[in-house]
Amino acid sequence: MLKEIEKSIRICNKCRLCKTAINPVPGEGNPDAEIVFIGEAPGETEDQTGRPFVGRAGRLLETLLAKIGYKREDVWIGNIIKHRPPQNRDPLPDEILACQPYLTEQLKILSPKIIVTLGRFALSYFYSDGKISRDRGNLLRTGRFNVFPVYHPAAALRSPQMYRDLESDILKIPGVLDSIKKGKINTSNLNLKKGKEDLDQELDGQQRLF
Ligand code: SF4
Protein backbone atom coordinates (compact mmCIF):
# COMPACT_ATOMS: atom_id res chain seq x y z
CA MET A 1 0.00 0.00 0.00
CA LEU A 2 2.81 2.42 0.81
CA LYS A 3 4.28 1.55 -2.59
CA GLU A 4 0.99 2.44 -4.26
CA ILE A 5 1.02 5.86 -2.62
CA GLU A 6 4.64 6.30 -3.67
CA LYS A 7 3.68 5.53 -7.27
CA SER A 8 0.92 8.16 -7.14
CA ILE A 9 3.35 10.73 -5.75
CA ARG A 10 5.84 10.03 -8.52
CA ILE A 11 3.32 10.97 -11.21
CA CYS A 12 1.52 13.68 -9.25
CA ASN A 13 1.04 17.09 -10.83
CA LYS A 14 -1.63 18.44 -8.51
CA CYS A 15 0.39 21.51 -7.64
CA ARG A 16 3.11 23.69 -9.17
CA LEU A 17 5.94 22.22 -7.09
CA CYS A 18 6.39 19.20 -9.39
CA LYS A 19 7.40 21.60 -12.17
CA THR A 20 10.41 23.03 -10.34
CA ALA A 21 11.55 20.03 -8.28
CA ILE A 22 14.00 17.43 -9.62
CA ASN A 23 12.64 14.41 -7.75
CA PRO A 24 9.64 13.64 -5.56
CA VAL A 25 10.49 12.59 -2.00
CA PRO A 26 7.68 10.26 -0.89
CA GLY A 27 9.29 9.19 2.40
CA GLU A 28 11.02 5.97 3.42
CA GLY A 29 11.74 3.59 6.25
CA ASN A 30 10.33 0.72 8.21
CA PRO A 31 6.66 0.15 7.28
CA ASP A 32 6.12 -1.30 10.77
CA ALA A 33 7.80 1.59 12.55
CA GLU A 34 6.49 2.66 15.93
CA ILE A 35 8.09 6.08 15.48
CA VAL A 36 7.52 8.29 12.46
CA PHE A 37 9.43 11.53 11.87
CA ILE A 38 7.70 14.20 9.81
CA GLY A 39 9.33 17.33 8.46
CA GLU A 40 8.11 20.18 6.31
CA ALA A 41 9.35 19.56 2.77
CA PRO A 42 12.39 18.26 0.89
CA GLY A 43 15.48 20.47 0.77
CA GLU A 44 18.15 20.63 -1.90
CA THR A 45 19.91 17.30 -1.16
CA GLU A 46 16.59 15.53 -0.73
CA ASP A 47 15.42 16.93 -4.08
CA GLN A 48 18.59 15.68 -5.76
CA THR A 49 18.40 12.18 -4.24
CA GLY A 50 14.64 11.61 -3.84
CA ARG A 51 15.25 10.61 -0.19
CA PRO A 52 14.15 12.43 2.99
CA PHE A 53 16.63 13.91 5.47
CA VAL A 54 19.88 12.91 3.78
CA GLY A 55 21.75 16.22 4.00
CA ARG A 56 23.48 17.66 7.06
CA ALA A 57 20.18 17.84 8.96
CA GLY A 58 19.55 14.18 8.16
CA ARG A 59 23.00 13.18 9.41
CA LEU A 60 22.31 15.00 12.67
CA LEU A 61 18.99 13.18 12.98
CA GLU A 62 20.78 9.85 12.45
CA THR A 63 23.39 10.75 15.08
CA LEU A 64 20.68 11.58 17.61
CA LEU A 65 18.70 8.45 16.74
CA ALA A 66 21.80 6.37 17.45
CA LYS A 67 21.87 7.85 20.97
CA ILE A 68 18.50 6.19 21.69
CA GLY A 69 19.47 2.95 20.00
CA TYR A 70 17.72 3.43 16.68
CA LYS A 71 18.98 3.37 13.10
CA ARG A 72 17.15 5.30 10.41
CA GLU A 73 15.94 1.96 8.96
CA ASP A 74 14.07 1.33 12.23
CA VAL A 75 11.83 4.38 11.85
CA TRP A 76 9.88 5.95 9.01
CA ILE A 77 10.84 9.43 7.82
CA GLY A 78 8.81 11.69 5.56
CA ASN A 79 7.58 15.17 4.87
CA ILE A 80 4.25 16.92 4.58
CA ILE A 81 5.10 18.21 1.11
CA LYS A 82 6.57 15.72 -1.35
CA HIS A 83 8.24 18.04 -3.88
CA ARG A 84 10.77 20.71 -2.91
CA PRO A 85 9.48 24.29 -2.88
CA PRO A 86 11.79 26.60 -4.87
CA GLN A 87 14.60 28.09 -2.74
CA ASN A 88 13.15 26.19 0.23
CA ARG A 89 10.34 28.73 0.62
CA ASP A 90 7.43 27.84 2.88
CA PRO A 91 4.78 25.73 1.14
CA LEU A 92 1.68 27.70 0.15
CA PRO A 93 -1.78 26.80 1.53
CA ASP A 94 -3.02 25.38 -1.77
CA GLU A 95 0.12 23.21 -2.04
CA ILE A 96 -0.43 21.85 1.46
CA LEU A 97 -4.06 21.10 0.66
CA ALA A 98 -3.11 19.35 -2.57
CA CYS A 99 -0.41 17.22 -0.94
CA GLN A 100 -2.17 16.47 2.34
CA PRO A 101 -3.96 13.27 1.19
CA TYR A 102 -0.64 11.50 0.63
CA LEU A 103 0.57 11.93 4.19
CA THR A 104 -2.90 11.19 5.53
CA GLU A 105 -2.93 7.85 3.75
CA GLN A 106 0.68 7.08 4.65
CA LEU A 107 -0.04 7.65 8.34
CA LYS A 108 -3.18 5.54 8.16
CA ILE A 109 -1.12 2.62 6.86
CA LEU A 110 1.85 3.19 9.15
CA SER A 111 -0.33 3.76 12.21
CA PRO A 112 2.66 4.80 14.35
CA LYS A 113 2.64 4.91 18.12
CA ILE A 114 4.20 8.36 18.01
CA ILE A 115 4.74 11.05 15.38
CA VAL A 116 7.79 13.21 16.01
CA THR A 117 7.28 16.49 14.20
CA LEU A 118 10.46 18.24 13.11
CA GLY A 119 10.18 22.02 13.34
CA ARG A 120 7.51 24.70 13.54
CA PHE A 121 5.77 23.96 10.27
CA ALA A 122 5.27 20.23 10.92
CA LEU A 123 3.94 20.96 14.40
CA SER A 124 1.38 23.44 13.09
CA TYR A 125 0.24 20.93 10.46
CA PHE A 126 -0.90 18.57 13.23
CA TYR A 127 -1.81 21.21 15.78
CA SER A 128 -2.75 24.57 14.33
CA ASP A 129 -2.33 26.36 17.66
CA GLY A 130 1.07 24.81 18.29
CA LYS A 131 4.10 26.88 19.24
CA ILE A 132 7.37 25.07 18.83
CA SER A 133 9.29 26.94 21.56
CA ARG A 134 6.48 26.13 24.05
CA ASP A 135 5.42 22.67 22.92
CA ARG A 136 8.74 21.04 22.04
CA GLY A 137 9.56 18.00 24.13
CA ASN A 138 5.94 17.55 25.25
CA LEU A 139 3.57 14.85 24.14
CA LEU A 140 0.43 16.21 22.49
CA ARG A 141 -2.67 14.29 21.57
CA THR A 142 -4.12 15.68 18.34
CA GLY A 143 -7.00 13.81 16.83
CA ARG A 144 -5.97 10.17 16.86
CA PHE A 145 -2.24 10.88 16.90
CA ASN A 146 0.35 11.10 19.64
CA VAL A 147 2.53 13.98 18.48
CA PHE A 148 5.90 14.81 19.98
CA PRO A 149 7.26 18.10 18.58
CA VAL A 150 10.98 18.83 18.46
CA TYR A 151 13.08 21.48 16.77
CA HIS A 152 14.05 20.90 13.16
CA PRO A 153 17.59 19.46 12.88
CA ALA A 154 18.48 22.21 10.37
CA ALA A 155 17.63 24.84 13.00
CA ALA A 156 19.69 22.92 15.56
CA LEU A 157 22.69 23.09 13.22
CA ARG A 158 22.47 26.89 13.33
CA SER A 159 21.99 27.30 17.08
CA PRO A 160 23.92 25.54 19.89
CA GLN A 161 20.97 26.05 22.26
CA MET A 162 18.52 24.49 19.82
CA TYR A 163 20.99 21.65 19.33
CA ARG A 164 20.98 20.97 23.07
CA ASP A 165 17.18 21.21 23.20
CA LEU A 166 16.77 18.88 20.23
CA GLU A 167 19.16 16.36 21.75
CA SER A 168 17.43 16.39 25.13
CA ASP A 169 14.00 16.01 23.48
CA ILE A 170 15.13 13.09 21.31
CA LEU A 171 16.55 11.41 24.41
CA LYS A 172 13.05 11.54 25.94
CA ILE A 173 11.48 9.53 23.11
CA PRO A 174 12.05 5.98 24.50
CA GLY A 175 10.40 6.96 27.79
CA VAL A 176 7.49 8.64 26.02
CA LEU A 177 7.03 5.62 23.78
CA ASP A 178 7.07 3.34 26.79
CA SER A 179 4.38 5.46 28.49
CA ILE A 180 2.21 5.32 25.39
CA LYS A 181 2.54 1.54 25.20
CA LYS A 182 1.61 1.21 28.87
CA GLY A 183 -1.37 3.50 28.37
CA LYS A 184 0.11 6.21 30.56
CA ILE A 185 -0.27 9.02 28.06
CA ASN A 186 0.43 12.34 29.66
CA THR A 187 -0.74 15.02 27.28
CA SER A 188 0.74 18.37 28.12
CA ASN A 189 -1.93 20.46 26.49
CA LEU A 190 -5.60 19.84 27.11
CA ASN A 191 -6.84 22.75 25.03
CA LEU A 192 -6.13 21.37 21.61
CA LYS A 193 -8.47 23.12 19.24
CA LYS A 194 -7.66 21.57 15.94
CA GLY A 195 -5.92 18.28 15.48
CA LYS A 196 -5.18 16.17 12.46
CA GLU A 197 -8.42 14.23 12.85
CA ASP A 198 -10.32 17.43 12.20
CA LEU A 199 -8.26 18.00 9.10
CA ASP A 200 -9.07 14.46 7.95
CA GLN A 201 -12.77 15.12 8.40
CA GLU A 202 -12.51 18.31 6.39
CA LEU A 203 -10.66 16.39 3.75
CA ASP A 204 -13.38 13.73 3.59
CA GLY A 205 -15.72 16.45 2.41
CA GLN A 206 -13.22 17.80 -0.10
CA GLN A 207 -10.86 15.54 -1.93
CA ARG A 208 -9.45 12.11 -1.46
CA LEU A 209 -7.00 10.25 -3.60
CA PHE A 210 -7.50 6.62 -2.78
S1 SF4 B 1 4.01 18.63 -3.82
FE2 SF4 B 1 2.48 17.03 -3.44
S3 SF4 B 1 0.59 17.77 -4.45
FE4 SF4 B 1 2.31 18.98 -5.25
S5 SF4 B 1 2.88 17.89 -7.12
FE6 SF4 B 1 4.18 17.12 -5.44
S7 SF4 B 1 3.14 15.31 -4.69
FE8 SF4 B 1 1.67 16.46 -5.91
Question: Which tens digit of pLDDT belongs to each residue from 59-84?
Answer: 999 999 999 999 999 999 999 999 99
Which of the listed residues 23, 40, 80, 95 should we mutate to test ligand 1's pocket, taking the one with most ligand atoms within 8 A of CB?
Answer: 95
26 CA from centroid of ligand 1 (Å): 10
Range of the domain at 57: 2-203
Comparing C-alpha atoms, which of 12, 74, 17, 75 is closest to residue 41?
17
Distance from residue 191's CA to the centre of ligand 1 (Å):
32
Instruction: Please indicate, yes or no, if residue 45 is contained in any of the structural domains.
Output: yes
Q: What is the mean pLDDT of residues 171-179?
A: 96
Q: What is the pLDDT of residue 186?
A: 57
Q: Name all residues whose Cβ lies below 6 A of ligand 1.
A: 9, 12-15, 17-18, 24, 81-83, 95, 98-99
| Per-residue pLDDT at 187 | 55
Structural domain total, the chain: 1
CATH of the domain at 169: 3.40.470.10
Q: Determine contact, residues 116/148, Cβ cutoff 8 Å.
A: yes
Q: Domain for residue 144, yes or no?
A: yes
Residue from 67, 26, 36, 45 nearest 154 by CA: 45
pLDDT attached to residue 171: 98
- Under the banding of pLDDT at 50, 70 and 90, the label for residue 195 is low
Are 189 and 138 a contacting pair, CB within 8 Å?
yes
pLDDT given for residue 143 in this prediction: 82
Residue 138 has pLDDT above 70, yes or no: yes
Question: Nearest Cα to 142, choosing from 91, 183, 188, 182?
Answer: 188
* Residue 209 forms part of a structural domain: no
Q: Is residue 210 part of a domain?
A: no
Q: How many CB atoms lie within 10 A of CB 200?
A: 17
Sheet holding 145-150, edge to edge: 28-29, 76-79, 35-39, 114-118, 145-150, 140-142
Return the best residue to mutate from 8, 14, 16, 79 for the ligand 1 pocket (most ligand atoms within 8 A of CB): 14
Residue 208 counted as domain residue = no
Contact between 110 and 76 under an 8 Å Cβ cutoff? The reply is yes
Q: Establish if 62 belongs to a structural domain.
A: yes
Q: How far from each other are the two terminal CA atoms of the chain, in whole angstroms? A: 10
> Across the chain, what does the average pLDDT equal?
90
Residue 187 lies in a domain: yes
106 falls within a domain: yes
Nearest CA to ligand 1 atom 6: 83
Whose C-alpha lies nearest to ligand 1, atom 3? Answer: 99
Amino acid at position 120, single letter: R
Residue with the smallest CA separation from ligand 1 atom 4 is 15
